[in-house]
Amino acid sequence: MASAAAAGAPPGPAAPRSRRSVTGTRKAVAALFLLPALVLLGALVVYPIGYSVVRSFFDSSGDRFTGVDNYRTLFTDDGIRTALKNNVIWVVFAPTVSTALGLVFAVLTERIRWGTAFKLVVFMPMAISMLAAGIIFRLVYDQDPDKGVANAVWVGVHDTFAQSSAFPKAHPGRESPLVAQGGAFVTKDAVHAGRPVVLPLVGVAPDQLPDGARKAAAARPEPGRVTGTTWQDFTRGKGVGRLGEPDPAELGYAGMRVEAVKDGKVVATARASGDGTFTLPAAADGARLRLPAENFREPYGGVGWLGPALVTPAIIGSYVWMWAGFAMVLIAAGLAGVPRELLEAARVDGANEWQVFRRVTVPLLAPVLAVVTVTLMINVLKVFDLVFIIAPGSSQDDANVLALELYRKGFAEGRPGVASAIAVFLLLLVIPVMLFNMRRLRREVRR
């Protein structure tokens, strides 16, 4: 009977099975595999953050609790305030310019045959480190046009429209008939036709004279005209050359501009030939000769890219050079998913390419543009390497950013409490931007 009852009894509840995750893996096994990563995350991220928060409330020695004094320093210290101002400039301009260039590159290279090669070249700077980029742009921005590419180009363009003088250091020597007048040199006495004039100068190295300079020659008198010579009057010593007279070993000032001035007005002008000789018309008779200041203008040295005024924009330029390729690749990926039917429909309706770009392409790419911009903003808030390497010591204070100030306060000045406060402040600045980016990404995934 018992066996029959047992045979006819309904089956009891099944034994509990170990719970599995969505992927079919036991949670205990998943936790076991995640444990090393969690340990590393805690040791390398959670613990340093917690320690920095605690350390920010103590003094430099770490023994005395100071409350919010270190945080108060963030808004009273001049160096930190400069860093805050520069960080605002970085956050506003660096991501915006990088994203805009990436968008332009992505759209323009979409239809050309060599677009892939161009994208590779633009993206290539991402393959090098910030350290290497900093060294490269420290050389690019060198003040010397012979070394710095930026100033070499700038000086070349400038000299195309306003050529610099070949005689910047020329000046009258001993017993010279010339006297200084502002930046120019003027003869002491009036000159007359038929009487050659000598205008000797010194101060220019022979190898710095123009390529057209030849051996100086004495001017010949011409009836009704004023003639003369302007040259490098360099005598090596007693018995070698005569002071105030052109010698075969001396070179003429080729291209020197000479003006004849009467009653404050220029009545005639001339350019010295290769041997330094020049000829003025009869109108110059009785005038005083002037070598105008344009003959002695210092060579244009270019722009002080790493000076206090331009150092931050210059460093932002190097950042854009690196990260515009990153923005271009992400935007190009988003552009590949834009329905071509919408673009063609806009063109059929009469929209030109600019209207298609502004009213169709950009709105459709808005989610991608937002993600790229926010990602670059997070990256910019932590920028350190480029500023530390590119900015010279004389203008590093003007280029200062929060990450660099954190390093200086913590290691150079020995104030770890203030450095920890800067680190916490940077974290607080980054968290809202990260949350915004995460929410946007989740929203895109749900779509």
* Residues 128-172: tens digit of each pLDDT: 999 999 999 999 999 888 889 999 999 888 877 776 677 888 889
Is 345's pLDDT higher than 80? yes
What is the model's pLDDT at position 305?
93
What is the model's pLDDT at position 337?
86
What is the model's pLDDT at position 347?
87
Confidence of residue 6 (pLDDT cuts 50, 70, 90): very low
Is 174's pLDDT higher than 90? no
What is the model's pLDDT at position 402?
93
Is 231's pLDDT higher than 60? yes
* Residues 396-437: tens digit of each pLDDT: 999 999 999 999 999 888 899 999 999 999 999 888 888 887
Q: Which residues of 261-295 are buried (b: 16+ CB within 10 A; e: fewer)?
A: beeeeebbebebbbbbbbbbeeebbebbbbbbeeb
* Residues 263-281: tens digit of each pLDDT: 889 999 999 999 999 999 9
Torsion of CA 314, 117, 101, 371, to 10 degrees: -110
CA distances, 228 to each of 184, 188, 218, 245, 260 (Å): 18, 15, 7, 11, 12
Listed in sequence order, the residues at least 6 apart from 355 whose beta carbon sits closer than 8 Å to its beta carbon are 346
Closest CA relative to residue 166, chosen from 216, 205, 219? 205
* Residues 77-128: tens digit of each pLDDT: 898 999 999 999 999 999 999 999 999 999 888 878 888 888 889 999 988 9
Say what the pTM is: 0.75
Contact 252, 214 (CB under 8 A): yes
